[in-house]
Amino acid sequence: MRQADRFGLHLGEFSFDFGKAIERSREVVDRFRRGLAFLFRKNGIELVQGVGRLRDANTIEVEGHEAISARSIIIATGASPRLLPELALSKRIMTSRQALERKDLPQKILILGGGNIGLEFTSIYLAYGLEVTVVEQLPHILPREDAEIADMVAGILSKRGVVLKTGIGVEKVIENEREVSLLLANGERLSGDALLLSIGVTPNTRGIGLELLDIKTERGYISINEKMRTSLPNVYAIGDITGLLPLAHVAAAQGVIAADEIAGKKTLPLHYERIPRVTYSIPQIASVGLAEEELREKGVSYSVGRFPFSASGLGPATEETDGQVKLLFDSSYGSVLGAHIAGAEASELIAPLALSMESEGTIEEILGTIFAHPTMSEAIKEAALASRGMALNL
């Protein structure tokens, strides 16, 4: 829509219904839930719905049902959005959970937390024309991403009108009938119609009986080994409750390992540093492996290659010129140490780089691969070439 006139498209009167969009998102989620229920029935899995609690290492009590006994138990209770101490949720103060159900739009929104969830909602609200201010206590947004990529995304968002406040803590949240405000540590006061809290998650471990079994935890998260076993050998834990990498595809992979281990099948350990991480913002951000700062801290000798989408074949053709591919290679062996992408379809482009890392591929395989033209993926090969000072289109 932003680039419609560039393609010769002249739009008339335009309107949107945010409530309809929310309803559709809930319909999609419900469809997935029904799909899972079907798969349960298809595979002979009994679903018992209710509040559960561990009675012992082989028994789960469920409110309104008979106790369930099993040889092995998998704990997958997930995590919930973190709240600020003594701050109650309200019509103006919400977490991602409430935001996904809210059908009305404020005109001006404050987002506390500049991580992946905060930026995903930033992109949603920005697309609907809201005034968005993001406050992040750490020095830059996307604190878990490569700093260069994070700074690039910050520049793109700022150019689009997002106000970013980084490296500043919040002293107080003030709410009244008209607005909600953040009092920052530097004395500045920011006000908006609503506040979205996106300051991380807390594990759902309270009240599920862990204390009865003396299952080992660390910072509230359940400790597991590479087989997903907890400190009790027949009790397993997967997903956000482990605190390792809070992503849906990680939880799914952990679940497969736990199930195979229980079934007596051979399992292979997860290499968490080789699992892709994606932020579904605009632009998308995707990464796998180590950031450049981590390589410096470890004293690893590396080479770096960058290629902007503005110089790719498809980027200018589709007006998707924001962002770049950044690749980090081991100086001695040429193995891929890290890949970081900001831009259109980054979530798709990261997959072959994760595959390269998992299969212990090197820069030579990338250089020897012919990428279709014009595509966004050409930037991968160009970035690899750039690491040797050989980029063809830059």
Are 331 and 305 in contact by the 8 Å Cβ rule? The answer is no
Are 188 and 110 in contact by the 8 Å Cβ rule? The answer is no
Instruction: Tell which residue, 358, 360, 356, has the closest CA to residue 383.
Output: 356
CB-count exposure of residue 322 (10 Å: 0-12, 13-18, 19+): buried
- CA–CA separation, 211 vs 192, rounded Å? 42
Instruction: Tell which residue, 136, 137, 183, 138, has the closest CA to residue 163.
Output: 136
Instruction: Tell which residue, 26, 23, 175, has the closest CA to residue 87.
Output: 175
Q: β-strand 201-203 against 79-81: which pairing, if any? A: antiparallel
Residues with Cβ within 8 Å of residue 242, at least 6 apart in sequence: 221, 222, 223, 224, 228, 254
State yes or no: is 373 an active-site residue. Answer: yes
Instruction: Tell which residue, 353, 325, 339, has the closest CA to residue 295.
Output: 339
Give the torsion through C-alpha atoms of 244, 246, 249, 250, to 10 deg. Answer: 10
Give me the active site residues, please: 373
